[in-house]
Structure 1
Amino acid sequence: MDDLLHVDNAPLITDSSKSKHGAKSTWSNGLKKLFKSKDSASSVQLTDEHTEREVYPGVPKQSFPNNAISNAKYNPITFIPIILYEQFKFFFNLYFLLVALSQAIPALRIGYLSSYVVPLAFVLIVTMSKEALDDIQRRRRDTEANGEMYEVIGQTKLVPSRNLAVGDLVKLHKDKRIPADMILLQSSEASGESFIKTDQLDGETDWKLRIATPLTQNLSLDDLKNISITASAPEKSIHSFLGRLSYDNQTTGLTIDNTLWANTVLASGTAIGCIIYTGTDTRQAMNMTKSGVKTGLLELEINRVSKILCICVFVLSFGLVSIHGFGSKWYVDVMRFLILFSTIIPVSLRVNLDLAKSVYAYQIEHDHEIEDTIVRTSTIPEDLGRIEYLLSDKTGTLTQNDMELKKLHLGTVSYAGDTMDIVADYVKDIDGKNIIATNKRDLGTRVRDLISTLAICHNVTPTIEDGEITYQAASPDEIAIVKFTEQVGLSLFKRDRHKITLAHEGSHENLSYDILQVFPFNSDTKRMGIVIRDLKKDELWFLEKGADTVMTKIVQSNDWLEEETSNMAREGLRTLVIGRKKLTTKLYETFKEKYEEASSSMVNRDAEMQKVLLQYLEHDLELLGLTGVEDKLQKNVKSSIELLRNAGIKIWMLTGDKVETARCVSVSARLISRGQYVHTVTKMTKVEGAMNSLEYLRVNNNSCLLIDGESLGLYLRHYRKEFFDIVVQLPCVIACRCTPQQKADVAVLIREITHKRVCCIGDGGNDVSMIQCADVGVGIVGKEGKQASLAADFSITQFCHLTTLLLWHGRNSYKRSAKLGQFVIHRGLLISVAQAVFSITSAYEPIALITGFLMVGYATCYTMMPVFALVFDYDVNKEVCFVFPELYHELTSGKSLSYVTFFVWCAVSLFQGSVIQLFAQAFTSINEVDFTKMVALSFSGLVLNELAMVGIEIHTWSKILIFSEVATLLLYVGSVPFLSEYFDLPFMSTLKFYWQLAVILSVSVVPIWLSKVVYKKIYPPNYAKVQGY
């Protein structure tokens, strides 16, 4: 929960010192640095960066990075050079550039220069326009943030954010963005407390409490300038900070509680802070390293196919020259043929696929059945249709993260359901006045002690919004417990840094306690503690709650805790162990002295503080009881998991929860099927014999594996490949007590070992690393915040939306792009085959068949719209996809775009291109007199053949598809009168032209259509079998 990781959420600040392409040093990185945006923040390569720094408020230092924000990738000078480099670093774009440049050489010139320049220019203009619009929006955000005005103590005018420097004292107002990393010196609240919103930093939606140090809270503005702050070197961690503050021979330690990080928002009152880090030194900037660009599997497959086409171009060019014979300038002929056949590698392929991805993203975000879905990575929608492994978190993903305390256990008795009324009755008599004293503490006293401890031991803060009390806390578990104590008669009335007040319903009085120390929960300690003074009884108490795995060693020995923890876990409840310890004044004062000494350390501070805590407080606690909190399943989780399983997806649940809790949730969510054997591997500590524990699964691979984090860690360290070779075959794996790193490791290893597509889904900060390591990361906007959502490729609001995302949008995206890619290749091959036939019948001379506007128009005006409109086609409707999820499974093998389908399309292109050109030449001739007649027949045949092929490939006609076909046909017919330079227009107005064209189309299209119909009848695809459903 607290072990949040880096979140890439379209930041206001980025680290401009890091190369976009990683650490690899190349001349291109040097070029980029040379053309770096002129408004970018200062370089972070400073001698002070990796050392502690002394900051004196009111004395600005300019030796640190300036505070200007720059997310712009380009500036007006560098835009064109960098964008050209980014495009031409790809072989195919560079290939087309060389082809275009070759036309400047007279010996290689074929047709018009525009025939080769315009298609390439079109691709570049589309890309440059998109990049320019994106960069303009980034610059607008940067300008707005840099120009935000702030009140600096000692300045007569407001200062823009970009001019703030380390050492500036800044006065902040409510709802104002914090412009740099600061230390909170004063708050408008007398207690020194301020609340901040951190959702733009870590994604968490709850307010965070920040505290001004007592040394500075009441100082005058002049005295604030006499303090000194020692801050540790800039680092990434947003949850830790080491520092010291000195004033008038007094020194106090600074922690995360005293900080205001850049890009958070002040949520209450006003505050004064001193800037300690600016620009690229801030936590926000250091956590915004660009994540690697994800490349979809389909794109890799298209690239492999394109390489085959490239080889074909060279083979065909050399083949034709060798057949004709090698003359004195044979290499010129080879170059001319390479240029003529350059259309085999379609320049528009990448543009078509990129535009298709934008369409898919739009369709996903505007699907009313999965409202509020956000596409954050638009480059991989096709991968949604190729998922074979789904790795899921439990809490907040499969469950609602809507906690409710369901059960209490006190060793000899438990309370749940209707018996909670008994607890309320005990709580009403808070002083136990109606209880007869006995030697052994009576049950009522024990219940009251437990409820009082639950009502005090937490980090929940009540806030009033619109006249209503709401609770702010990092953990929904804590809010659930506080709401429970309120229901039984002991409610949280008020809390600040020094005091907590409870309202007792039975006596209508307030119970106040001084807060002396708070030890917050974190994922390492797995517990939370507090030292309080009971003002009514003048007693000191140390209260603590935490996970059973750590609390068992801290509380006094007992004979029931382990058993009852397992019982609650089997019921699917999240458990917390509650304990307390009465302190003497002398013990507390000794602890306080040692703890403050440890908290001032600048080396291993956390470890030293924890050591003191263990030595003085965390031992021999009185065990008060055990709580069980229920986390309900999300809506339609059972049916969603069943659908995904039937779609052939293997589902793993990776959770930090206990083994029994995970088992119970897995059964209720139907991760574990009825009657399915669950093979359990836990507490595996010895390497010897570890693999023997998995032998059963090697034979019975229809079983489910339940493994804990300790055992998983052992296999990851010693038997990584052997372990995954076995478990990846299983339909379900449940891993419990997992760390965030283990989750990420599992995702990476499944990808590496199986080479299959892995999807990871989660909702919390501890899921971010797993999500970022997946082929497709899906984040759920959860009650713990938006960390996972902001880091993910796709953001959804409920787990059940994943079925629509994968089975409908994923399936369609992959099938559409596969067909679109093959059609674009078919279009290029068609005209190249026609050119090859013409060259062969022209004595192997490299003479162009299609030139000028016809070459440009063929791939744009006359065929692009119908071909691209295929992205709106679908073979079955949405309902059928959910009724027959097996349709999804067949996609994982990649049959929609494989070497088989590629060579089939090549054969079709070879047949149709040859038929069109040979018949065109047979009906006319290739001599100069009939050349324009032949071109008219050939080109018209190529265009209309492509329209017909699109028509016979469409499964579901829609208005867009009909319009694209009709509009393109009308456009071609309408443009013919303006193409007299290329066509014999009188010939095209005769009946002879039309019957000849009809014959050509009949021979080129009808056999393909008939073979398609016959094959579909003999070997009907799965979608055809269910179309009538």
Structure 2
Amino acid sequence: LQAVSLCHTVQISYDQADCLVGGDPFSHANGFSSSSMEYYASSPDEKALVEAAKRIGVAFTGRNGETMEIKTFGKCEKYKLLHVLEFDPNRRRMSVILQTPSGGKLLFTKGAESAILPFSSSGEIEKTRLHVDEFALKGMRTLVVACRHFSPEEYIDVDKRLTAARTALQQREERLQEAFSHIERDLQLLGATAVEDKLQDKVQETIEALRLAGIKVWVLTGDKHETAVSVSLSCGHFHRTMNILELLQQRSDNECAEQLRRLARRIKEDHVIQHGLVVDGASLSLALREHEKLFMEVCKNCSAVLCCRMAPLQKAKVVRLLKTSPEKPITLAVGDGANDVSMIQEAHVGIGIMGKEGRQAVRNSDYAIARFKFLAKLLLVHGHFYYIRIATLVQYFFYKNVCFITPQFLYQFFCLFSQQTLYDSVYLTLYNICFTSLPILVYSLFEQLVHPHVLQSKPGLYRDISRNSLLSFRTFLYWTLLGFCHAFVFFFGSYILMGEDTTLMGNGQMFGNWTFGTLVFTVMVVTVTLKLALETHFWTWMNHFVTWGSIAFYFIFSLFYGGIIWPFLHTQDMYFVFVQLLSSGSAWFAIIIMVITCLFPDVVKKVIYRHMLPTSTQKSQSLPAPQTQALSCMESLCCYQHGQSGCSRLAGLLEQMSGRCTASVNNCHASSRNN
């Protein structure tokens, strides 16, 4: 109990009302209520152990500089802290050297049983090992505690070694590790501790949802093998009917290779059964040294992989191995502690969970969530939404600019490459700024192919967007070729309409160069805007406003721009051009015909694919929305449950402005959907 109360990095906080200003820093131990004292630690295990020792009767009551005080069954004892041997993932233990009240020098150490038991020379070693295995089978996190008494001569040597190592200018880390190894030996085993690490809510449901979505889950942990397997079974990562394969305690490359071949043969023989693989850190190092391909082949044929006794750098190495595999999968790492930081930074996407392990994982992650169960919503709902939005956004920008540039390129063949522009300079400037920008912006913010609750209840819909299916070379080529085809229709349709010696005016007047360019531009603006309207499934009043408003704005702007003589313009080539174009019935007929010619094949393609080869997502679009509170388009910008996040107030304000929420009712009305 003394070892647990003294070998830690716990800090104490006291209620201000119970503290005496300018008094003895340990005065709280002599009469103040223990309820005013609260422990804080970077590790929840340390905090739990110190609190447990306090309940039994050995309470850590404070630290002032180099002095640590404990209260043992009401008796105060002060220890002088001489040295702290910090924890590191290679040693897997931490130690403190103290001077006891009687003047003796004492080492307390705690760590994993694999880091303590081999260096213990006395104590109940076998009995402790049995206790550790028993605790691990119950899914508890275990630590082993030991001590060592130093004679005055031994402590002088220890102090010299530590001082020399810490003041070394070269190879400091190596010298410190050598000094630590010299000190932490010949230990007297004191016992073992076990801390119950309860699973968060809905962990099993979340892992099952990820599996149904086609996401392969690997668990990388530093826990003992028995603990890791017990937790994997309880959280649903391993099933009771799953055949568990083990790659443990391999001592040589040949032994590791033979075990891997044995596992590969076993998988081929039992190809119908689901397999789970358990690997420890030492065996993993051997497997990755010379047998990487064989190891990856075994892992690919397993439904679930569990890596235990992993150091932080080993976790990052496993993520890097998956990233560089021939399939080039997209990796996502989830962690809540400082030992997960390297893994989170190595993965394509890093997610930190805000928990009791501190904020290091959150600070180094791409996204932060409060609970593990929110991962399902983050991926299956928000991930689905934003992937579709961004995929369409990128390809639509290429499409509309191909439509914009190609007619100018074709026009040069008819103007003898005289550098005469097809469009007016104002149209060139405003095409991407005003005429076609708002519809795709609103689409990329609010589009929802499927109701959010349907996405959460049917994780398999995530498979429709897996492997970058909507942003592949094939879909990108389709959008690009579609842009070229539409551009050819714009240009040559207008050219055929205005052919040589053809008048479209009642007075026999001919259309000029600027009228031809304006006709091409008008058809282009209308077509690219309606093309995005065909791609939109989730219609709000904002979508209607920017879609039809963009077309109306173009016509109104062109009428004002070409219908008034502006004194600040040096030349006004477009004066009365647009009015003249709209006064021709043939021009109106040509605009309608060309727009229909461009969009009708798209409509036919969508109808055929929806009825002949529908995807799971398209089938789910016809399902009725659940009769529950809907996740609105504004809430889809947030990652917290029920929209309760930092942007919830902004979302509520925007919902009220959009007319989809009333001031007195919090339930949002479902918007119309175009199936």
TM-score interval, normalised by the smaller of the two chains? 0.7 to 0.9
- The answer on 1:662 being equivalent to 2:235 is no
Which of 241, 245, 265 is matched with 1:679 structurally? Answer: 245
**Letter aligned with residue 61 of structure 2:** F
Partner of 1:747: 319
Give 1:585 shift: 5.2
Compared CA separation, residues 834 and 541, structure 1 to 2 (3 A)? closer
> Aligned partners of 2:581, 2:11: CA distance in 1, in Å?
87
Preserved CA contact (<8 Å) 1:514 1:533? yes
- State the Cα deviation string for residues 250-278 of structure 1 (Å, max 9, x = none): xxxxxxxxxxxxxxxxxxxxxxxxxxxxx
Which of 139, 146, 162 is matched with 1:572 structurally? Answer: 139
Partner of 2:194: 628
Alignment of 1:97-246 (within 5 A): none
Preserved CA contact (<8 Å) 1:707 1:734? yes
- State the Cα deviation string for residues 695-743 of structure 1 (Å, max 9, x = none): 3345257411100010000011111233224323433211111122211
> Aligned partners of 2:600, 2:412: CA distance in 1, in Å?
26
Preserved CA contact (<8 Å) 2:281 2:311? yes
Give 1:614 shift: 5.6
Partner of 1:325: none
Higher helix share: 2
Secondary structure of 1:650's counterpart equals coil
Partner of 1:484: 52
Compared CA separation, residues 625 and 1017, structure 1 to 2 (3 A)? same
**Letter aligned with residue 543 of structure 2:** L
Name the stretch that deviates more: 958-967 or 490-499: 490-499
> Aligned partners of 2:405, 2:149: CA distance in 1, in Å?
88
Compared CA separation, residues 532 and 772, structure 1 to 2 (3 A)? closer
Which of 799, 806, 822 is matched with 2:372 structurally? Answer: 799
Give 1:587 shift: 5.1
> Aligned partners of 1:730, 1:597: CA distance in 2, in Å?
50
**Equivalent pairs, count:** 575
- The answer on 1:1003 being equivalent to 2:607 is no
Name the stretch that deviates more: 573-582 or 912-921: 912-921
Give 1:660 shift: 1.0
Secondary structure of 1:657's counterpart equals coil
Alignment of 1:886-965 (within 5 A): 886-925=460-499, 929-931=510-512, 932-965=514-547
- State the Cα deviation string for residues 855-906 of structure 1 (Å, max 9, x = none): 3333332222223332021201211111111221222232212333234334
**Letter aligned with residue 881 of structure 1:** L
Secondary structure of 1:679's counterpart equals strand
> Aligned partners of 1:684, 1:1017: CA distance in 2, in Å?
56
**Letter aligned with residue 968 of structure 1:** S
Partner of 1:718: 290
Which of 112, 115, 133 is matched with 1:547 structurally? Answer: 112
Compared CA separation, residues 691 and 608, structure 1 to 2 (3 A)? closer
Preserved CA contact (<8 Å) 1:573 1:630? yes
Which of 787, 799, 810 is matched with 2:360 structurally? Answer: 787
**Letter aligned with residue 1001 of structure 1:** V
- State the Cα deviation string for residues 795-850 of structure 1 (Å, max 9, x = none): 33322222222222222222112212222222123244544665667789875433
Which of 450, 453, 459 is matched with 2:9 structurally? Answer: 459
- The answer on 1:707 being equivalent to 2:279 is yes
> Aligned partners of 1:849, 1:594: CA distance in 2, in Å?
82
Compared CA separation, residues 627 and 937, structure 1 to 2 (3 A)? same
Preserved CA contact (<8 Å) 1:463 1:469? yes
> Aligned partners of 1:665, 1:476: CA distance in 2, in Å?
18
> Aligned partners of 2:595, 2:157: CA distance in 1, in Å?
96
Give 1:939 shift: 2.2
- The answer on 1:885 being equivalent to 2:459 is yes
**Letter aligned with residue 453 of structure 1:** A
Give 1:604 shift: 5.2
**Letter aligned with residue 651 of structure 1:** V
Structure 2: 5+ residue stretches without partners = 18-35, 502-508, 564-572, 624-675
Compared CA separation, residues 975 and 629, structure 1 to 2 (3 A)? same
Partner of 2:206: 640
Give 1:564 shift: 2.2
**Letter aligned with residue 808 of structure 1:** V
- The answer on 1:859 being equivalent to 2:432 is yes
Which of 512, 519, 526 is matched with 2:92 structurally? Answer: 526
Preserved CA contact (<8 Å) 1:936 1:988? no
Preserved CA contact (<8 Å) 1:682 1:711? yes
Which of 733, 738, 753 is matched with 2:305 structurally? Answer: 733
Preserved CA contact (<8 Å) 1:532 1:540? yes
Preserved CA contact (<8 Å) 1:925 1:934? no
> Aligned partners of 1:516, 1:835: CA distance in 2, in Å?
80
Preserved CA contact (<8 Å) 1:908 1:1008? no
Partner of 2:348: 775
Compared CA separation, residues 518 and 688, structure 1 to 2 (3 A)? closer
Partner of 1:692: 258
More relative contact order, 1 or 2 (CA 8 Å, 6+ apart) = 1
Secondary structure of 1:979's counterpart equals helix
Preserved CA contact (<8 Å) 2:105 2:149? yes
- The answer on 1:757 being equivalent to 2:330 is yes
Give 1:1000 shift: 2.8
Secondary structure of 1:471's counterpart equals strand
- The answer on 1:510 being equivalent to 2:60 is no
Compared CA separation, residues 597 and 937, structure 1 to 2 (3 A)? closer
Give 1:607 shift: 5.6
Preserved CA contact (<8 Å) 1:781 1:789? yes
Compared CA separation, residues 740 and 617, structure 1 to 2 (3 A)? closer
> Aligned partners of 1:906, 1:595: CA distance in 2, in Å?
67
Compared CA separation, residues 474 and 1000, structure 1 to 2 (3 A)? closer
Over aligned residue pairs, what C-alpha RMSD do you find? 3.0
Partner of 2:670: none
> Aligned partners of 2:298, 2:520: CA distance in 1, in Å?
58
Preserved CA contact (<8 Å) 2:4 2:49? yes
Which of 219, 222, 226 is matched with 1:653 structurally? Answer: 219
> Aligned partners of 2:160, 2:392: CA distance in 1, in Å?
73
> Aligned partners of 1:1002, 1:617: CA distance in 2, in Å?
82
- State the Cα deviation string for residues 587-606 of structure 1 (Å, max 9, x = none): 55565566556666555566
Secondary structure of 2:254's counterpart equals coil
**Letter aligned with residue 937 of structure 1:** L
> Aligned partners of 1:951, 1:605: CA distance in 2, in Å?
65
**Letter aligned with residue 552 of structure 1:** L
> Aligned partners of 1:903, 1:495: CA distance in 2, in Å?
68
- State the Cα deviation string for residues 17-60 of structure 1 (Å, max 9, x = none): xxxxxxxxxxxxxxxxxxxxxxxxxxxxxxxxxxxxxxxxxxxx
Compared CA separation, residues 831 and 559, structure 1 to 2 (3 A)? closer
Preserved CA contact (<8 Å) 2:106 2:149? yes
**Letter aligned with residue 930 of structure 1:** F
**Letter aligned with residue 929 of structure 1:** M
